[in-house]
Amino acid sequence: MDRNADQRDINKDKRDLAADRKDRNQDQRDINHDRRDLSKDRADRNKDQRDINKDKDAGGQRCQQVRF
C-alpha cells in the first residue's frame, strides 16, 4: 500500500474508535440515568413507608389514650 492508503486506514480506525467511545459514553449516561431513577424510586418508597409507620404509631397512641 502507499502512504495515502495507510493514512486513510489509520483515519478510518480513529473514526471507528471515536464512534465506539461515543457509544460507550452514551451507554454509561443511560446507566447513570437509570440508577438515579431507581434511587429516587427507592427514596420515595422509603418515605411512603416512614409515613405509614408514623401513621401506625400515631394510631396506636390514640388507641392507648382512649383506653385509659
Average pLDDT for 9-37: 98
Q: For residue 32, what is its C-alpha cell?
A: 447513570
Average pLDDT for 42-62: 85
User: At residue 2, does pLDDT exceed 80?
Assistant: yes
The pTM of the whole model exceeds 0.75: no
3-state DSSP call for residue 2?
Answer: coil
Q: What residues contact residue 9 under an 8 Å CB cut-off, 6+ apart?
A: 1
With pLDDT > 70 as the criterion, what percentage of the chain qualifies?
A: 84
- The type of residue at 32 is N
